[in-house]
Amino acid sequence: METERFPKQSLIEEAQDNIKSEKYEKAISNLATVLESDRKNIQALNLMGQALTDLNAYKKALSCFNLALDIDPNSTTAMIGKANVLSETKDFLDSIAWFDKALKNDPSNVEALVNKGILLDKMGRHDQALTLYQDVLKQDPNHETALVNSGLAKCSQKNIEEGIELFNKALEINPRHVRALASKGLILAMTNKNKNALDCFDKALEINPKNTEALTNKGIVLFNLGKHEQAIKYFDKSLEIEPTNSVTLSMKTDCQNILKSNK
């Protein structure tokens, strides 16, 4: 029995490493091998669901989490995984219900608190989201995602200075946090601090040249400064990655129309 357990556990650990390294296909191969001989291995099912979610294979991911819940209806990991999938497929109310089930099992579960907060932000319920992020920060004052999301929530409440302080705290912990840089840049741009905003976007793009948030928002700042040709270059770079982004497409069209009218 012990000799059978070790290879399975070894494959599961390898799958976990592959998921962390974003080698999702390799992780799925590892886990499929485990599940061939042990179809009720909940850890393997949950990890398979996670890898499939990261590949945007939401229907298959949901099947994995449902199987895990059939085996163990109290699996908090499966509940959170299912909630994450439902959030991605825009089944927001069902997603919240599953996050709530997970939090009933484990009220201090950081992943459930943060991801439910992200979902509430998507729904425009920023005050409720902020409460969840604050619950996370009571447990872990250095939780980077909670800091950045709290900053955005504060800014949505017009508490700009508090929001920027939270972005700065996240950047003290991790100066290469692209989302903190891009978010700080966005708020600075909204308060007409265009030079400082551009500095933030440039730092974000040095770290990740394909960050669409930084690309599009840098384009918007350049547009506001009347640098329409430069702005289009950044919108084009963003659209190469996200061709259907409505904000970027609209801003590019506005730029093109202004350039045509100036000829």
Domain spans of the chain? 194-200+208-263
- Residue 263, CA distances (Å) to 53, 231, 251, 258, 259 in order: 48, 17, 19, 9, 7
Structure tokens, 43: 């850890």
CATH of domain 194-200+208-263: 1.25.40.10
Separation CA 222–CA 212 (nearest Å): 15
The pLDDT tens digits along the chain (263 residues) read 444 555 888 999 999 999 999 999 999 999 999 999 999 999 999 999 999 999 999 999 999 999 999 999 999 999 999 999 999 999 999 999 999 999 999 999 999 999 999 999 999 999 999 999 999 999 999 999 999 999 999 998 899 999 999 999 999 999 999 999 999 999 999 999 999 999 999 999 999 999 999 999 999 999 999 999 999 999 999 999 999 999 999 999 999 999 988 87
For 140-161, b/e burial (b = at least 16 CB within 10 A) is eeebbbbbbbbbbbbbeeeeee
140 φ/ψ sector (left φ>0, alpha ψ -120 to 50, else beta): beta
Contact 31, 51 (CB under 8 A): yes
3-state secondary structure of 110: helix
